[in-house]
Structure 1
Amino acid sequence: MSWILTEDHLEDLARGAAVLGTGGGGDPYVGRLLVREAIREHGPVTVLDPDDLDDDALVIPTAQMGAPTVVHEKLPNGAEPELALRALEKHLGAKAGATMPIECGGINSMIPLVVGARLGLPVVDADGMGRAFPELQMETFGVYGVPGSPMGIAGERGETTVIDTGADNRRMEWLARGITIRLGGVAHIAEYAMSGADVKRTAVPRTLSLALSVGRAIRLAREENADPVAALATALRDTLYSHLRVLFRGKVSDVERRTEEGFARGRAAVVSFDGEHKLEILFQNENLVALVDGEVRCLVPDLICVLEAESAEPITTETLRYGQRVTVVGISTPPLMRTPEALATFGPAAFGLAHDFVPVEVVS
């Protein structure tokens, strides 16, 4: 069902998007502020259910691209994703009938809402990652046959360019990453232009609605002095993300983080409260693998979410720091993201991890 998004939805939506972003997707607080200002200036946004989308509609997803460590300090002015969309529309010789997220994480669930408010476009309630991933070819859109290019790129000073690599989404990522680095480490993009029929065939459906319900469930549990992690598990139970598993509870004892090649890469260590066990998380913008005492407990593409221990507020990779008391959970991804084709694109091997994918719900 389609619905109208207002300013009142934003806090819950940003929180839920940060959970689904598995540590990445950009700063949810900044995204919330950008959407709030766009709605105050231009009015609310129509969130369009995929079933209500015309098959022949032109849908152009919009997003922010760059290392979260840079994005955390280099704030957008809000006009950049609109510029990227306009550049791609000009190249295609056609106007978008809707926009949508490429991923459901942090700021990148919010950027299309900024575009929707500013341009009066509906935003499709779906995305192409079902979480957040660091590279542009890592999309269910591409897995199931939609080319990422041509794509529009815009910088904060009004620069725009268009990349067209045909069906080669990896080369598109490589070129776009280089441009993003030269724009100061962050850019805004419009890519994977497709028909409404392709959206229905290739996208992970209703992830904006899911993020809203997840964020609301956590907030209500806190207000009622209930367990917010249990509330999160309940909110997910009857969705495509049906299984939540608590992987670890403890205190962050070490964080190693570096910005290189346009990504935030590193590791975080968490020690159990009794000091007997250790969790290690490796990340590339997003959390990729969680190991407890050296054994894999959750692995990409399943979600690894670091939550503040008392409130279950999600903690992104760029805000992890020594001394935080955390609960780390694993969440199962939809079947669309676990096919052999999908795992070849964004499974463990795509990140150079020497582990075979095992669903979080069956890991011993």
Structure 2
Amino acid sequence: MTRNISSDDVAALAAGAAIFGTGGGGAVTTSQFGVADALSKHGPVRLRTVEELTDDDMVIVMAGIGAPTVGIEMLPSAEQPETLLREAERVAGRRITAVMATEIGGTNGVGPVGWAAQLGLDVLDADGMGRAFPEATMVAMNVAGVPRDTTVLSDVVGNVIVMRTVDATWLERHVRAFSVASGSLCLGASLLDAKDVPGAVIEGTVSRAIEVGHAMLEAEEPVHALARTLRADVLINGKIIDVSRRTEGGFVRGSVTISGTGTERDRLLRVELQNENLVVLEDGEILVSVPDLVTLVDSETGHAISTELLRFGQRVSVLAWACDPLWRTERGLDIAGPRAFGYDIDYVPFEAGAISRPSTEQNEEPSTSGANA
């Protein structure tokens, strides 16, 4: 059923998108204000399902590309979305009718709503990842074999480039080079014909992010509410005791170490990251790995903490839950499994409760994994 996204939904969308960002996609605060402003100026935007698309529809798939740390200080230009749309329609030779987020995670899951309001377009209730991933190859369209042969990029000073690449791997190389040349941050868009959408996107993710955000914002115990809504496990509650982070090649890379508190004070978890949280380890064992989702949230408020905002001493809870089934296919794992990030390990699907305390406790509240996970 078609619905509208209004100013009343922005806080929940931002909170939910931050959760699905798995540490990446950029911090949502700036984009949240921008989207709220765009909706107040231009009115609500229509959220359309995949089933509601017709043969006359053309979708522009948009995202900020680069290092999230840079996005804290270098804000996008207000003209970038309009520049991209004009160039994309010129290349396509037809009118574009809807905006889709490349990734529902982080600011890239929030920004498209504001861009749609600004451009007078609908928003598609779907995205290309069901989370956030750091590379242009790691999208559902690539898993489904839908070509992305034309990409338009724009930076904050007005440079525009149109790329026609032979495959997604070459697209990633050239996009990353443009991003680095633009100060490690740019805005990108690709085109998706309505007939190619079914089976090539992760459906329902915008409305899902809003649902998760509302569950967290309205709960007395936000972390428990998140775990229930996401069907996630709370791997640990603790304090950050070390953050190693660097920006290189257009990415944020590093790791964060969490020391358990209370009854978990004898535990240490390390989370490795490349823009997003990739792998969780304890005592040399891998608890969770991509493409399954791992998010660090504030233990009191439940708000997700993006990788660029992790700090020593923060009290955090680590949540993990299963990815969309598309990423567990052979091609999905080739594109976004552990080996795609350089880890010489086999992917073991994460299932909530599989490494947790007895199921009798799980029926009452979200579980916290034990030290022998």
- Identify the TM-score tier after normalising by the shorter chain: over 0.9
- Tell me which residue corresponds to 2:306: 316
- Secondary structure of 1:61 counterpart: strand
Query: Does the aligned pair in 2 maintain the 1:60–1:190 contact within 8 Å?
Result: yes
- Secondary structure of 2:78 counterpart: coil
Mapped partners of 2:321, 2:254: distance in 1: 21
TM-superposed deviation, 1:354: 1.8
- Tell me which residue corresponds to 2:266: 276
- Secondary structure of 2:148 counterpart: coil
Verify: 1:253 aligned to 2:241, yes or no.
yes
Mapped partners of 2:350, 2:275: distance in 1: 21
- Secondary structure of 2:88 counterpart: helix
- Tell me which residue corresponds to 1:9: 9
- Tell me which residue corresponds to 2:226: 232
Query: Does the aligned pair in 1 maintain the 2:223–2:300 contact within 8 Å?
Result: no
Which runs of structure 2 are paired with 1:123-162 in the superposition (5 Å)?
123-162=123-162
TM-superposed deviation, 1:342: 0.5
- Secondary structure of 2:149 counterpart: coil
RMSD value, Cα? 1.3
- Tell me which residue corresponds to 2:205: 207
Ranges in structure 1 where 5+ consecutive residues have no aligned partner: 237-242
Q: Which runs of 4+ in 1 moved over 4 A?
A: none
- Tell me which residue corresponds to 1:218: 216
Query: Does the aligned pair in 1 maintain the 2:258–2:269 contact within 8 Å?
Result: yes
| One-letter amino acid matched to 2:181 | R
Verify: 1:358 aligned to 2:348, yes or no.
yes
CA-to-aligned-CA distance 1:283-333 (integer Å, 9 cap, x gap): 000000011222111110110010111111110000000000111010111
Q: What TM-score, normalized by structure 2, do the two folds share?
A: 0.91
TM-superposed deviation, 1:56: 4.7
Mapped partners of 1:110, 1:81: distance in 2: 14
Mapped partners of 1:131, 1:357: distance in 2: 18
- Secondary structure of 1:304 counterpart: strand
CA-to-aligned-CA distance 1:217-271 (integer Å, 9 cap, x gap): 01111xxx3x2222123323xxxxxx31111111000001100000010100001
Ranges in structure 2 where 5+ consecutive residues have no aligned partner: 356-372
Verify: 1:299 aligned to 2:289, yes or no.
yes
Verify: 1:266 aligned to 2:264, yes or no.
no
Mapped partners of 2:78, 2:316: distance in 1: 32
Mapped partners of 1:134, 1:305: distance in 2: 15
TM-superposed deviation, 1:39: 1.3
Query: Does the aligned pair in 2 maintain the 1:302–1:330 contact within 8 Å?
Result: yes
Which runs of structure 2 are paired with 1:39-78 in the superposition (5 Å)?
39-78=39-78
Mapped partners of 2:82, 2:330: distance in 1: 35
Verify: 1:338 aligned to 2:328, yes or no.
yes
Query: Does the aligned pair in 2 maintain the 1:62–1:85 contact within 8 Å?
Result: no
Mapped partners of 1:2, 1:294: distance in 2: 48
Which runs of structure 2 are paired with 1:71-86 in the superposition (5 Å)?
71-86=71-86
Number of aligned positions between the proteins: 352
- Tell me which residue corresponds to 2:168: 169
- Secondary structure of 2:131 counterpart: coil
